[in-house]
Structure 1
């Protein structure tokens, strides 16, 4: 009888039907029996995955007594996971491995030669992890972030016209318009508030700027959030990181090993379902008006042209809509919020940057927005370096591979090796935040926010190891290689345009002083928050700028 019941449950597990599994357990097993059976099944599943697989090079790395979670709790509880990766890299070498869920191991790379090799083999040799792809297809669909190989190449080619320098240059008025709408709203708040300035929660305003901007630039649609309209997408995205239960956390962690756990009806799953409904509903609305936007030069219009030329399917267009909404909203608003925090932390840098902007006599031109010799550009690069929206990326080897090394490291047996064998199915981590702020690449002041480093033209600066990194401005913030962010020019231009307007008209302070503790709020992407405030609130004291003399 027990054998028959076990065979029935095994069959259902393979079919990934969670409701059937729960039904079998409810009517055929006691609670203790069910727990033992499911635990045994998970262990058997993990062992089965490793049978017959070639093993990657055994590397040095941190140890842990946690056989279930490895070092994941350390990374989650660290004030800065990038610092932890850097400590391990200094201790174990530029490429090392870390224990993760149920005895699995990830390879972490901080070696520039290995990073360049990974970037060159993206989408074919290294692909998204199954867990990440399941999440992406649920929320964003089978668009550019989900696609690999030839599909990725085709979709990227279809999107390219929307992100050329010429295309982004035409969108500059939209960026300034959003900034001036914010200025007008803040003017009203300040005029009706106390003379010493008003406390404004700036992160929500940066959200509205980025959301309205992508609406107009991407789809010729004004969401109107800067005018006070509500957005179901923003509301849904903002709830992902709130009230996460223990079951949510456990299911999310172990689903990387046991995919069926993604189907457990947790609060997080319901929230993600709501996000998906909101995103897809909006995408369907935009697609329903393709006849209206197909002749304009918005991103949507260019995408519609691609469908007519059979470069991209209608389903893929819908996925790109979701991707543009999510990426432009989350990443740009996070970067702008960090920019205002850093300005509030350092009044000297704030004054120097404002003075530079005021000397131009008006809104920066396209040439000024793309100038790499200005303090505005230096400040922008430093925000991107210190505060990358994506702290780390995970990729999986689609086939056996060999990672080259810049210099030899020691393997787990203490032997010197000059390359690392990576077996198919191995997950590789690129710790972006760690590399961007690593003392090995950026010198002893790597953790210090210092825009002046980008203006230093001395020979010493030119010899820094940071130049070994091939990404945008020697940073990995926009990734690199085949998956380098297609919208990097759009993001940087919007960032500079918005900041130029706000800084010429307002001053910014942290209400409790420049040493106010800033923490992280865990959402789809980590957001900054003032410690002690609700959610991810970042209240700043804002005043009108008044020129002296």
Structure 2
């Protein structure tokens, strides 16, 4: 994709690429600290990179046709890896993100009505109310440095709480954030035995994760009980995601979710919804602080808009392009890893049973054969008449298992960025570069301080 640019675009900082001769154990040590720093230059240039992962072969796929095969044409042959299951199951249980086979089909069919564009439109008032409050709080902090990463986490958590339960997260937010931080800092990292042993063989970290899961599911069940106690008027339309999920029925079997299943679905939606959106918004604000001219274009598009409906959000074409470009450079899910159930042939590569397939949006979105100026921040590439190949840009995955909450996340991100930049001019206080690192999502290595000034 060729991009014409009048001025030289910014190139945000990234971790150094790994040397090609990095040893197995050296690579393993880097994986625990920053997965995206384990890939060398070949991974940004070649269509398929073959290697080894313990007793099996591994393949990094950067060819859209090969990715289409794995995620769409033959997706049932590829399951989550043992390490991936270990990292996610303690917080997501057997919810939609980890379910397989008939269980996944049931959950997907049952949940789909809750995430249609119409359902999302009904939740926009919850989003705008939280944004109004966030802007009012920032108004009071224009004379001091502000940690916008923390502000985005609190804001998206509040949106998640209100859209899910119709109540604020003032009381429960700190506990929820502590759960997220506790898990991400230690339990969400891959250790040697996590990658070596099958899921049926518990590792020492698995025991710690099991204890975490007991406390976590008890907390989510408490939130559900509090929401149920608030009740719902007989015959009244659904007022939040919980109503939609609690009342959802599989159109084929007529069955709904059990209480245990509902805990896992709610946990999945709250965590996937607030953490990934907060991260994307942080990176968008960071990029706009580095690129004041692009920031002014967003402010200009937003000027005079009320931004309180889906129609208003859809008119923000350039702001949407900024979000799209942000998620290209900093994909929330930086790696999609799959294990082959049976032998296969992927774009000429012979895949054996148990071999590992890696589709890394971090690599794919910066691949030198797929993108013009791949490391540069150029939002207008997403306003081109030639959109990127569907399987070259995967911020929400692709195929049958594409993220069910993508329309909700896109609406929330565009609305939030438009409202925030429409209200404030954002500048960086810190001069230190912010380096992305991959643990569970693509996180910054530190939280820089910003200055916000009323427009």
TM-score of the superposition, structure 1-length normalised? 0.71
Deviation at 1:116, TM superposition (A): 0.4
1:5-404 correspondence to structure 2 within 5 Å: 66=23, 69=25, 71-73=27-29, 80-81=36-37, 84=39, 87-88=42-43, 90=45, 93-100=46-53, 102-121=54-73, 124-190=76-142, 197-224=143-170, 230-242=173-185, 252-259=191-198, 263-265=202-204, 270=208, 273-274=211-212, 277-287=215-225, 289-290=227-228, 292-293=231-232, 296-306=238-248, 309-358=254-303, 360-363=304-307, 365-371=309-315, 374-403=317-346
Describe the shift of the 1:401–1:70 C-alpha distance in structure 2 as closer, same or farther (beyond 3 A).
Answer: farther
Shift, 1:134, TM fit: 3.6
Correspondence for 1:50: none
CA–CA separation in structure 2 for the residues paired with 1:86 and 1:64: 11
* Alignment partners' CA distance in 2, 1:252 and 1:122: 30
Match for 2:397 among 479, 484, 505? 479
Q: Distance in 1 between matches of 2:151 and 2:257?
A: 34
Relative to 1, partners in 2 of residues 1:262 and 1:339: Cα closer, same or farther, differing over 3 Å?
farther
Pair 1:518–1:288, CA change in 2 (3 A): closer
1:185 to partner: Cα distance: 1.0
Candidates 384, 388, 398, aligned match of 1:467 = 388
d(CA) in 2 for partners of 1:258, 1:168: 41
Deviation at 1:176, TM superposition (A): 1.3
CA pair 263-86 structure 1, distance change in 2 beyond 3 A: same
Given that 2:160 and 2:270 are in contact with CA atoms closer than 8 Å, whether structure 1 keeps it comes out as yes
* Structure 1 residue 293: Cα displacement: 5.0
User: Which one of the candidate residues 494, 505, 516 is aligned to 2:423?
Assistant: 505
What RMSD in Å do the two structures reach over aligned CA positions?
3.0
Q: Which segments of 5 or more consecutive residues in structure 1 lack a partner in the other structure?
A: 1-61, 191-196, 406-418, 530-535
1:438 Cα deviation from its structure 2 partner:
1.4
Asked if the contact 1:397–1:422 (Cα under 8 Å) also holds between the matched residues in 2, the reply is yes
Residue 98 of structure 1: how far off its partner (Å): 2.2
CA distance in structure 1 between the aligned counterparts of 2:360 and 2:173, rounded to whole angstroms:
35
Task: Report 1 or 2 for greater relative contact order, CA contacts < 8 Å, sequence distance ≥ 6.
Answer: 2
Tell me by how many angstroms 1:132 deviates. 2.1
Separation in structure 2 between the aligned mates of residue 241 and residue 158 of structure 1, nearest angstrom: 30
Contact in 1 for aligned 2:125/2:308 (Cα 8 Å): no
State which structure, 1 or 2, has the greater radius of gyration over its C-alpha atoms. 1
Paired residue for 1:435, among 343, 353, 364?
364
CA displacement 1:431-484 (0-9 Å, x = unmatched): 1111112121112x1110111222344xxxx3xxx73334xxx52110000110
Q: Specify whether residues 252 and 272 from structure 1 end up closer, same or farther in structure 2 by C-alpha distance, changes over 3 A only.
A: farther
The answer as to whether partners of 1:64 and 1:99 remain within 8 angstroms in 2 is no
1:330-387 Cα deviation digits (max 9, x unpaired): 10000010011011101111111101111x443264223124x721121111111111
Whether the 8 Å contact between 2:82 and 2:199 is mirrored in structure 1 is no
Structure 2 contact 331–442 (Cα < 8 Å) conserved: no
CA contact (8 A) 2:128 2:308 kept: no
Contact 1:174/1:213 (8 A) holds in 2: yes
Instruction: Identify the residue that residue 13 of structure 2 maps to in structure 1.
Output: none
**1:280/1:156 Cα in 2 relative to 1: closer, same or farther (>3 Å)?**
farther
Do the aligned residues in 1 keep the contact of 2:165 with 2:227 (CA within 8 Å)?
Answer: no
Q: Supply the distance in 2 between the matched residues of 1:176 and 1:320 (Cα, whole angstroms).
A: 24
> How far apart, CA to CA, are the structure 2 residues paired with 1:300 and 1:78?
35
Structure 1 residues 437 and 298, CA gap change in structure 2 (3 angstroms):
same
What is the distance in 1 between the residues matched to 2:451 and 2:144? 6
Tell whether 2:401 aligns with 1:449: no
Q: Quick check: 1:236–1:275 contact (8 Å CA) kept in 2?
A: no
CA pair 231-500 structure 1, distance change in 2 beyond 3 A: same
Structure 2, unpaired ranges of 5+? 1-18
Contact 2:280 2:326 in 1 (8 A): yes
The verdict on how the C-alpha distance between 1:76 and 1:260 changes in structure 2, with shifts beyond 3 A counting, is closer
Residues 1:543 and 2:450 aligned together: no
